[in-house]
């Protein structure tokens, strides 16, 4: 029996236990027929073609899980070419039969994945809501009255409904993130240029990105890595130069003041505040920042000359087939006629100035954490006010590709209205892998399940491990704490504060006599029932750690200290003989409180 959501770990376990790709496609066929949303697919892969693909895979690679994506079913947004299926971009008059697979589809097929169909979208990928298609409007898997998000509407729903393990979308303004938030999924938006766009119908060619909808961050990153790689056929393809982020103690930028705009949706605002608290509990440092330059850049995408790129993508077709366009999409694209070449350069200049202002904010941050969408709407409300309400969805997404950022959207729980929301983490170009561990930890901490299965536990097999930064962890309890006299011995060689926390409850703290500056003695006494003591966990280079340990005076030494979460780290301990007759300060809760009491 397969689970509701076809995450990679569950599917691989089923294959290892005897399931075959042919069994899997029969299950997919059955689930497609039972689907209660007829607008999800534009073209389904025919049943017999699915069976043939499964048999061909078993002949090519007979051993279960012998390819990275062996027998994994996936759906493809219908602006990405799949050989044998038409590409429509949600415009029947535009449809054509591609001569070959898009570059990303070819790479996924080579890794063993099986295409189950082409999914619905806002026409020509122009929209964030999913209602701008002659093939109908896919709906949120949690409430059919609400939009699914767009433009990658059908792709998100296929994964959230359990029809596919993952799906491809595209993202120019947020189309790979907003549908993820509305359907309790992960949305992986690579750095522009990391994944090739060969075989993709462009929206804004210079900033388009192929994205992944997946059940977990681990799944999404693994799939994205199959698609990665420079392709000279894409003029904007780039060779990756991976960027690292701190493994822990991230400085996370969050919204405050007038830049916090949720358009009256208090449920989403409450979930964002919960996400901030969740990030703190995972060791992040929360840093309010000025979102204004990011917002002003976001406004350029639809209210600036970049809309002319949308016209460039379909210039010949709209010249002969304007009446075949969705009315809202046509209005947006024809708005490009208001801009000339001078306006294009002026837009670039403005973006450059805003990028410089954004860099000032990045000096105090490692990543941004923003609401993926500040609100959601019913299909009825969206159709009544399609441009203004659509723009609300893009308030915290539109800037990302203009600035060249990597982004990962993760679920953030369910509001009082029963609808999901989420947050997106943004990092510098090519920080794609570095963003993943914390984004994964946030998804797990939210305990919101995967897709429509709100109670599903995220598999341990998909957990994203922290990168090995080569640093050594050390816990300090006294004069080496931040702001204390010996803290420079950590900061001088480049040490990084990971977190402030407490020890387990059976530790006691004493003032060691005749020490300058005053130093504490920490001992463990099994059976002692205390509240734990405030400590700090730092990371230093191995060389700095060696010098540090060499200079520790007796009766102090380094041993394993258990923290209140059960983790064990190397830290300062004292030999028991040294505390005879010493003043105990355990009841104060830590060395910092003791020093304050002396003053």
pLDDT in tens, 196-228: 999 999 999 999 999 999 999 999 999 999 999
Distance from C-alpha of 180 to C-alpha of 551, rounded to nearest angstrom: 52
**Which pLDDT does position 344 carry in this prediction?**
94
Q: Which helix (H) or strand (E) holds 294?
A: helix 292-303
CA angle 177, 183, 189 (to 5 degrees): 20
- Same domain? For 456 and 496 the reply is no
Choose the weakest-confidence range: 425-429, 433-437, 563-567, 579-583. Answer: 563-567
Nearest-angstrom CA–CA distance, 198 and 184: 29
Residue 467 lies in a domain: no
pLDDT of res. 547: 84
Statement: residue 253 has pLDDT above 70: yes
Which CATH number does the domain housing residue 244 bear? Answer: 3.90.1300.10
Same domain, 457 and 572: no
pLDDT of residue 527 exceeding 70, the answer is yes
Q: Do 455 and 510 have their domain in common? A: no
Mean pLDDT check: name the lowest of 46-60, 182-196, 460-474. Answer: 460-474
Q: For 264-279, what is the mean pLDDT?
A: 98
Q: Count of domains in the chain?
A: 2
Show the beta-strand stretches assigned E in 458-582. Answer: 472-476, 496-502, 507-511, 520-524, 534-540, 556-562, 568-574
Q: Which of 162, 163, 154 is nearest to 127 (CA)?
A: 154
Among residues 405, 439, 462, which one ends one of the domains? 462
458 and 527 belong to one structural domain: no
Query: Using an 8 Å Cβ cutoff, are 196 and 231 in contact?
Result: yes
| Amino acid 248: pLDDT | 66
- Annotated catalytic residue, options 151, 155, 429, 448: 151
- Note whether 204 and 178 are same-domain residues: yes
* 358-391 tens-digit pLDDT: 999 999 999 999 999 999 999 999 999 999 999 9
Length in residues, the chain: 599
**Higher pLDDT, residue 496 or 22:** 22
10, 77, 165, 421: the catalytic one is 77
273 located within any domain:
yes
The reply to whether 155 and 189 lie within a common domain is: yes
pLDDT of 325 > 90? The answer is yes
Closest CA to 149 of 123, 118, 174: 174
**pLDDT at site 465:** 85
Residues 478 and 458 both lie in one domain: no
Q: DSSP of 301-330, one letter per residue?
A: HHHSTTHHHHHHHHHHHHHHHGGGS-HHHH
Per DSSP, helices labelled H in 487-550 are 488-491, 542-550
Written as six digits, the tokens of 163 are 């029809």
CB 179 within 8 A of CB 155: yes
Q: Does any domain span residue 157?
A: yes
Residue 469: band (very low, low, confident or very high) from pLDDT cuts 50, 70, 90:
low
Q: Nearest 5 degrees, angle CA 141-CA 142-CA 148?
A: 50
Q: Which of 148, 153, 175, 448 is catalytic?
A: 175
Distant-in-sequence, close-in-space partners of 449: CB < 8 Å, separation ≥ 6: 5, 184, 411, 455, 456, 457
**Is 493 inside a domain boundary?**
yes
Look up the domain containing 541 and give its range: 472-598
Digit-coded pLDDT (tens) for 289-298: 999 999 999 9
pLDDT at 168 over 80: yes
> Which one, of 467, 460, 397, 462, lies nearest residue 432 by Cα?
467
Give φ, ψ of 229 to 5 degrees. 130, 135
User: Cβ(268)–Cβ(373) under 8 Å?
Assistant: yes
Q: What is the pLDDT of residues 6-36, one digit of tens each?
A: 999 999 999 999 999 999 999 999 999 999 9
- Residue 1 in domain: no
Q: Domain for residue 3, yes or no?
A: no
DSSP structure string for 59-110: HH--STT-STTTT-EEEEETTB-BTTB-B-TT-GGG-B--SS--HHHHHHHH
pLDDT at residue number 499? 85
- Are residues 541 and 429 part of one domain? no
Structure tokens at 58: 């078993």
**What's the pLDDT at 546?**
86
| Reported pTM | 0.81
Strand-pair partners of 368: 253, 426
Residue 466 has pLDDT above 90, yes or no: no
Which stretches of 335-431 are DSSP H helices?
A: 341-362, 379-384, 386-393, 399-402
Boundary residue ending a domain (399, 432, 462): 462
Query: Residue 259: exposed, middle, or buried by beta-carbon count in 10 A (0-12, 13-18, 19+)?
Result: middle
Contacts of 117 (CB under 8 A, 6+ apart): 32, 41, 42, 43, 44, 45, 75, 76, 85, 158
Do 448 and 593 lie in one domain? The reply is: no
User: Does 56 reside within a domain?
Assistant: yes
For residue 298 the two structure tokens come to 């976001």
For 74-122, how does the pLDDT look when each residue is reduced to its tens digit (9 = 90+)?
Answer: 999 999 999 999 999 999 999 999 999 999 999 999 999 999 999 999 9
Residue 403 shares a structural domain with residue 451:
yes
Judge whether 77 counts as a catalytic residue: yes
Question: If you ran DSSP here, which 8-state letter would residue 563 be given?
Answer: B
The model's pLDDT over 52-83, given as tens digits with 9 standing for 90+, comes to 999 999 999 999 999 999 999 999 999 999 99
**Are 207 and 134 found together in one domain?**
yes
**Which of 416, 441, 462 delimits the end of a domain?**
462
At 532-586, the pLDDT tens digits run 999 999 988 888 888 888 888 889 999 999 998 888 899 999 999 999 999 999 9
Does 515 lie in the same domain as 432? no
pLDDT of residue 492: 84
b/e map of 477-510 (b: 16 or more CB within 10 Å)?
bbbbbeebeebebbeeeebbbbbbbbbbeebbbb
For residue 599, what pLDDT is reported?
A: 78
Tell me, yes or no, whether 173 lies in a domain: yes
Q: Write the CATH number for 526.
A: 3.10.490.10
Whether residue 452 contacts residue 35, with contact meaning beta carbons closer than 8 Å, is answered with no
Q: What is the mean pLDDT of the chain?
A: 95
State yes or no: is 175 an active-site residue.
yes
């Amino acid at each position: 029996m397969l689970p509701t959501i076809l995450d990679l770990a569950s599917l691989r376990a089923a294959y290892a236990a005897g399931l075959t790709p042919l069994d899997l496609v029969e299950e997919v066929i059955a689930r497609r027929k039972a689907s209660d949303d007829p607008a999800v697919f534009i073209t389904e892969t025919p049943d017999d073609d699915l069976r043939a693909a499964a048999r061909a895979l078993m002949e090519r690679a007979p051993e279960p899980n012998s390819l990275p994506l062996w027998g994994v079913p996936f759906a493809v947004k219908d602006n990405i070419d799949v050989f044998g299926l038409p590409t429509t971009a949600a415009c029947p008059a535009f449809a054509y039969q591609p001569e070959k697979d898009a570059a990303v589809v070819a790479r996924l097929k080579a890794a063993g994945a099986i295409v189950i169909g082409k999914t619905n979208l806002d026409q020509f990928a122009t929209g964030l809501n999913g209602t701008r298609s002659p093939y109908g409007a896919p709906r949120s898997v949690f409430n059919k009255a609400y939009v699914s998000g767009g433009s990658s509407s059908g792709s998100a729903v296929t994964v959230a409904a359990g029809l596919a393990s993952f799906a491809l979308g595209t993202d120019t303004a947020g189309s790979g993130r907003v549908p993820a938030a509305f359907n309790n999924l992960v949305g992986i938006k690579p750095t522009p240029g990391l994944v090739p766009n060969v075989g993709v119908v462009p929206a804004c060619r210079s900033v388009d990105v192929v994205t992944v909808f997946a059940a977990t961050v681990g799944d999404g990153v693994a799939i994205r890595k199959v698609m990665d790689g420079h392709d000279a056929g894409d003029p904007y393809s780039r060779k990756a130069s991976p960027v690292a982020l701190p493994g822990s103690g991230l400085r996370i930028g969050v919204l405050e003041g007038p830049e916090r705009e949720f358009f009256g949706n208090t449920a989403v605002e409450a979930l964002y505040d919960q996400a901030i608290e969740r990030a703190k509990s995972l060791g992040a440092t929360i840093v309010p920042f000025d979102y204004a330059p990011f917002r002003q850049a976001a406004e350029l995408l639809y209210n600036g000359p970049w809309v002319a790129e949308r016209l460039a993508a379909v210039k010949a077709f709209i010249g002969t087939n304007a009446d075949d366009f969705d009315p809202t999409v046509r209005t947006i694209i024809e708005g490009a006629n208001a801009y000339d070449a001078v306006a294009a350069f002026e837009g670039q200049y403005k973006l450059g100035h805003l990028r410089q202002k954004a860099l000032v904010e990045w000096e105090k941050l490692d990543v941004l954490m923003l609401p993926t969408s500040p609100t959601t709407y019913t299909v009825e409300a969206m159709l009544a006010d399609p441009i203004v309400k659509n723009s609300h969805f893009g308030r915290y997404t539109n800037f990302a590709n203009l600035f060249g950022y990597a982004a990962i959207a993760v679920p953030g729980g369910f509001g009082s209205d029963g609808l999901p929301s989420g947050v997106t983490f943004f990092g510098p170009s090519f920080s794609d892998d570095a963003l993943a561990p914390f984004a994964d930890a946030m998804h797990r901490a939210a305990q919101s399940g995967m897709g429509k299965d709100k109670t599903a536990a995220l598999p341990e097999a998909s957990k994203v491990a922290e990168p090995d930064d080569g640093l050594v962890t050390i816990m300090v309890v006294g004069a080496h704490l931040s702001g204390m006299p010996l803290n420079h011995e950590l900061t001088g060689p480049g040490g990084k504060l990971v977190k402030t926390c407490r020890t387990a409850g059976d530790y006691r703290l004493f003032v060691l006599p005749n020490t300058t500056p005053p130093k504490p003695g920490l001992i463990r006494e099994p059976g002692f029932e205390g509240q734990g003591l405030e400590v700090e966990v730092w990371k230093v280079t191995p060389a700095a750690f060696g010098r540090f340990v060499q200079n520790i005076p007796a009766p102090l030494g380094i041993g394993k200290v258990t923290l209140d979460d059960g983790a064990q780290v190397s830290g300062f301990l004292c030999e028991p003989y040294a505390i005879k007759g010493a003043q105990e300060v355990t009841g104060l809760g830590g060395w910092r409180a003791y020093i304050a009491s002396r003053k």
